[in-house]
Structure 1
Amino acid sequence: MRPEESMSERPKAPAADRTTLHSRIASIVLVAVLVGVSSFAIWSSQAMSRAAHAADVAAMLSDHYDRADRAVSAEESLERKYRLEPGPGVREKFDDVAADLVQALDLVAANGNQADRARAEELRLDHQDYLASIKRMFDAVDAGDLALVLDLDQRETEPLFDAIAEAVHGAAASHHDDVVAKLAELRELETLTSRLTPWVFIVGLLLTMAMTWVNHGHRRLLDAERRQALHDSLHDSLTGLPNRTLLFERCRRALSAAERSGTTAALLLIDLDRFKEINDTFGHHYGDELLKLVGDRMCSVLGEGQTMARLGGDEFAILLPEIADSGAAVEIGCRLRAVLEEPFTVEGVDLDVEASVGGVLSGEHGNEPTVLLQRADVAMYIAKTQNLGVFAYDPSVDAHSPAKLALLGDLRRALSSGQLVLHYQPKVNLTSGEIVGAEALIRWEHPVKGLISPDAFIPLAEHTGLIGPLTSHVLDSALAQARIWIDAGAPLTVSVNLSARSLLDDGLPQQVAESLAKHRVPAELLELEITESALMAEPVQAQRLLAMLALMGIRLSIDDFGAGYTSLGQLKNLPITEIKIDKSFILNMGLEPSDALIAHSIIDLGHNLGMTVLAEGVETAEALNHLTTFDCDSAQGFYLCRPVSAAAFDEWRDAYRTSADTRDAHTSAG
């Protein structure tokens, strides 16, 4: 190696070392920046994840408490309903709601902290005491002991319920506030992260810009989630309408504003009629889609500032912050019902729906959302049970509830104590004079009030769970009597009337088949009578059930024909074997030529459709002669025989046959 080469290489070593050092420093700085950026990103992500998780847990607990709050409100509503309309259906719903409350408390205990678990356990114990008190009250209702019912309500159930409701509602409100607080903390954390991010990422330049972009997108996502979480906590997930929480919040503001300004607010409660049948027939998917369409259509009627909320199931509520009077509220209720008249099309299927509306006014009917909603529910129930469509709350409607409660309690006991008996009215063939059947008609022999007309208790039974047991009792008793007549060598067709609710019961054919088998009565000796109004209530369901009954060999008859709205197109598609002309046309045939013409036309119509025709309400010989002239097949009425007990019916039949044999003998001798 030459000396000059050695000298020339010496200065390069320090430069290489500096470059290496710089490279190492740069690498260290870069690594430090990356580590710092990564550490910051990890910290930010974990901190926001923990905050988001805390918000999710708080929201979940809030949902559980809200569920418990709804269950408590439902318990109160069903307790009141049972006192008005005791029945196994209401009691079963009450048990389901009570179980739902217990399940909600279990979820609170499973997901909450120590305080939540302690509160849930305390509420569970209080609820057990409340259920025990409720059982005693329901037993008192069933026993018709109104005084005991009121005493239990004042001493036990009401204080226990108030304590539970206050605790649950307070916990629900507290956890709702906690959700809002957690979301606020999350927002503050996002703000802090947003402020620190530029200072951390400025060292990394391009890395900072990239990370800022990522963080900005993440923040937008969290903002959207926060807004969505807040929206979901205040709106119904199916329809997007405000839920009970938001309705109550707006209702409180409206009531405060109305009190300050001296105006009036109104609350309407809307319940869809026969919605359950749509769910049962087409499935819950159709029901859910229908609820969305119903909500959209009713919203189109409302004005600015008016709130429509879905409370659950097929129940909606309308808040009217300013209303003139109850007449104006009823008018809006009528408009809401009117927009539902046009069928809703769900996946090609036209669905008809109606609604019952109950309304209340602030000040006049209450100044608290819970009180107003409770009384709107009472008004809605009156509108539904009395087919009024829309009804404004009237305190006097509760004045009759004790009498109705007592009568319903008596009716329940009458089913098991033999007070309900059947009377039979014969049907006579007008050509041969033979007795071709007997209609079974229920009578209530009350031990105190005497004979009670079916018109007084059948409507009550139809609006409660008693119509099912009552129909079963009549069917079973009538077939038992049919078996007696068969064993006596004098078989006779027995007619039993079905209510509109019976045609909504998919279990009806099975029930009839089991009763026929139990009493060993041939199906052809049973005739079921259905009114035109019952057919029109749910024509598709009615046609399906009637077809099943006809396949079993059971005779089917349209009762009170001419008084309803059965179309000829519908009539020809029904498996009907007999038409019964409504008695309103028969009673006045001698005085009103138009009634005679209608009766004659119905007879011709029935014969042309291959059906037999029976006239009911025959009370004079003149009416019987008219019907014979019109070629009517058979008749029944007071002129032939009033409805009588089975024993009296047998005596009448023997006397009728003897009289007929005597007439035949005289005819032969002549």
Structure 2
Amino acid sequence: MRFTWLRSRAVARAAVAALAVGLAVLAGLAVVSTQNTARAAERIASNERISQQWNEVYLAISIEYENLVDFVRADSLIGRQPLIASIGSAEANLRWLNAHGTPADVQRAQELQNTYGGYSYTLRRLVDADDRGDRAQVLRDAEQAGLSASALRKQAAVSVARKRLEIGAVLQDTQRTTDRLRVAVEVFSAVDLGLVLLCAVVLLMYQRRTERQSAENRYRASHDGLTGVANRDLMVERTDAMIAAADRCDGTVGLLLLDLNRFKEVNDTLGHHYGDLLLKVVAERLTGAARSDDVVARLGGDEFAVLLPDVGSTADLMSIGERFLTALNGIADLDGISVDVSASIGASLYPRVSSSATELLQHADIAMYAAKRGHLGVTMYNPEADDHSFERLSVLGELRRAIETGELELHYQPKVRTHTRELCGVEALVRWRHPTRGLLGPDKFIPVAEQSDLMLPLTEAVLAAALAQHRAWLNDGLRLPVAVNVGAACLLDPGFPDRVALLLREYAVTAGQLTVEITESAMVTDAARAAATLSALRELGVRLSIDDFGTGYSSMGYLQTMPLDELKIDRQFTAKLRSGPSGRAIVGAIVELAHALSLDVVVEGVEDEETLTTVAGLHCEIAQGYHVCRPLPADALAEWATKYRVFA
């Protein structure tokens, strides 16, 4: 733009500062003008007073001279009295001039006073001569006094004229100064007016920019910063508005909840830059397929939603969902790399399927996970086919946010060596501190996580918390190796070992202090990929343990092919140790098998001293169970560990 420089803060500050200076100068000029006028008035008044005194001197001398003329002509005492009374009448004025006049006036007054003194002396001598009857002397003195009077009046007249000239000069000087001040005031007034206009323009531009920024801020607060589509807050707001409108006119509101397939692979393989590019492509395709009244929103991660007013029926909603899926699926070019885009969509309809905004989102979420698990593309929420309890539905809808907001917490169960009873480590067990339902055990949410794509972020959150706690204990002087359970999703993710290595570096934990526990069922899913992941973890130095051995479907071959360090005997076998010889024989056989493969043995479910003594006799290295200690929060576990003593 041509005037973008006006938006500069420096320009605004300079304009305001210049305006302030200009106003200050105008105020100063006003003060100077007032002071100049006051000084001029004072000088003129002073000169007027001095001029008045000179006038009075001139008048006194003139009166004395006229009285002198009358005195010479008069032939009676009364005719001569005015002269006698007027002699020396100018003395008071001359003294005033000596006291209050300018230096020049003082000098002239003194000169005139000397002459005036002689003049007054002559007049008095004339009066004395007249009293003696010496007419000749009177005439001689009268002639001399007339000459003196003429000279005195001339001096007084000159002084009066000079004062008039001085007053005129003061007036001219004042006028010149006033003219200069007026020009300065006009110039600065014009400058200040220009600055006022400049400030007004700058303020107007600032106001417009503020309004634009406010509009941008409102837009950013309601739209996703990456894709530009609506965010969760705006979608919730529009959902409430559409439902209110539907209630007024007996209409419907549809919701499509969409989750990308294999998005994590794009992020892990190509990097987050390409993941962001893919999200932008998805947003563009969804927006292109949407109607003008539809709301396309990104709820977070790779989860999108499309809010649809006036859908009609569930069949119409399914048809619209298929249309969006068709528009979305296909190859996307991401900076020269071709990526196949596909998604799973869950659909729900208000009020025919869902009775509120909350249910609309929750049911679409359920349907979306059903579509994802069954590779169905688009699935409508079906209440009759939904075998989830309310609690299970809530877990499915809330678990992702629980992971992101840190509602998960870990409890730790100690493990001890069976022969020395020495504390040798802990197993981290995840709990969910739900904001309304309290502390939930893993059985309430782990199955849900395993059936969705949440198992991997859940495991990584548990790993991070466990390693952070291990580092905190180390800093407090307590060395407790920690074991963490890992599901099949982690073993099938080739990037999982790298993230484990990153967490070990982040918390400065030696790899040997971490044990990863896996189940047999996790290896059955894809034995080759699981073995590759386990080998990568083993190369890091992480200890590997097979959990719940004997409860899955594996063959003994897995123990030979997998790089394991430890085998855990499930509690169901431990419970049979006291039931008879068969239980003891089974545990003994598992122990011998593990030792033959150079694996340590951990026995779970040790509930009493007799069981602990028995497993020690079977040469099991490590035991854990309620007899040793129940799972405890981190702080309680640390306190327990400091007080723990080896027991007989």
**TM-score interval, smaller chain:** 0.3 to 0.5
Higher-Rg structure is 2
